[in-house]
Structure 1
Amino acid sequence: MMVMVLTDFQHCNAEARDHCSTKGSDPMRIKLDDIRKAEITRALMAYSSSEFDEDISEFRAEALVEFLLRQIGPSQYNQGIADAHGYLAEKLADLDVEFHEPEER
């Protein structure tokens, strides 16, 4: 399995910089605030119970959240950046067409 990761702090946007780590050559770590992490942990516990009929502890659910953030977080982040880039490029191209003023010659 191949996982794409960001290792360069400059790829993090201004709002996301607080959630990115740049220690050495470690992959970018996407961090959740404590409230959001607790919400996701509880949701994972409920999902495991309802879908698999298996109760998991808060400790295990939180460990799984951390694992998933490390494994799929960077690729999801990168995909979001790529999607935003494509959207903005499309809008910039439309801007030229929509507001172009013909020049007299």
Structure 2
Amino acid sequence: MAREKFQTLTEQMFYILLCLQEECYGMDIMEKVAAMTAGRVTIGPGTLYNLLEQFQKAGIIAETRVEGRKRCYQITQTGLDMLEKEYQRLMLLTADYHRYKGGL
């Protein structure tokens, strides 16, 4: 059975949405994610712009400004809800890990 699109988020998706709680240009997102994760997570331009397009079509983010070729985006309420849902899912995974590891 196929997984519903955006049911869970990849690391790149999670960090893009986290960045877009503030209005950002695409290139700024790549820099912020690298800084936020101390270089552990990187997002190439192809991946970034593909995800931004998919997020925009799904109403997860909105384009807020266009200056020449530069486009600015910000997360929508739908995106905020999705980000919170993913955070809660990750916290459940972490709790399960701690319970299991503590029982060893």
Same fold (TM over 0.5): no
Bin for the TM-score computed over the shorter chain: 0.3 to 0.5
Return the TM-score normalized by structure 2: 0.36
| Greater share of strand | 2
| Greater share of helix | 1
Tell which structure's C-alpha radius of gyration is larger: 1
